[in-house]
Amino acid sequence: MKKKDKEKQDTTDKQKTVEVEQPEVAEESSDQLQECQIQECQNKITALEGKLAESNEKFLRLFSEFDNYRKRTAKERIELSKMATADIIIAMLPVLDDMERACSLGSSKPEPDPVFEGLVLILNKFKSILRQKGVEEIPAVGEDFNTDLHEAVTHTPASEAEQKGKVLEATQKGYTLNGKVIRFAKVIVAN
């Protein structure tokens, strides 16, 4: 019986050994499983962080584009309101020219005329209103000829060398509205 007992003992020991070894294998596989799960979670986190960064970048671009659009439309609205009166003012410039001519003719009389004085007051008021709206006269006589502001009607020979390229006379006054030319000054230029 001893032999049988010994064999039985050996078999039991082997089973115990197998039983002891199996939990180690189970522990190793659970560690590997946990590591795989951790790695998958880290990969998901990295992917989500990338998507979040991309979404933030798109949001910032969209926000800055909208901000630029808002600023541009506000600026265009201001420009439009400034230039909305341009057509009306351009239509009134010939009336201004006529009033200035009438005042220049009336000033040659030696005695004061109340009608003439009233016309001068109206002309000054008209010019004042135009100035308030941003209309300014383009300086011409004695200035250097500038194609951005002046339109040469004719050229005449210069009597002095320093007059070359200068405006001798303005046949029609030019005007700007808020810094933009609405009518070029028609001038005679010395050559």
Chain segment 18-45, per-residue pLDDT in tens: 444 444 545 667 788 888 899 999 999 9
**pTM reported for the whole predicted model:** 0.57
CA distances from 105 to 33, 123, 124, 172 (A): 106, 14, 16, 16
Packed helices 86-106 and 114-132: angle between N→C axes, nearest 10 degrees: 150
Place of tokens 């990295």: 46
In this structure, the answer to whether residues 101 and 59 fall within a common structural domain is no
3 state SS for 146-167: CCCCEEEEEEECCCCHHHCCEE
Range of the domain at 178: 136-191
Residues 29, 80: one domain? Answer: yes
Q: Tokens representing 97?
A: 């020219």
Helices (H) and strands (E) in the chain, counts: 3, 6
Per-residue pLDDT reduced to its tens digit, 49-108: 999 999 999 999 999 999 999 999 999 988 787 777 788 888 999 999 989 888 887 766
The CATH number of the domain holding residue 180 is 2.30.22.10
Residues 122 and 162 in one domain: no
Report the domain count for the chain: 3
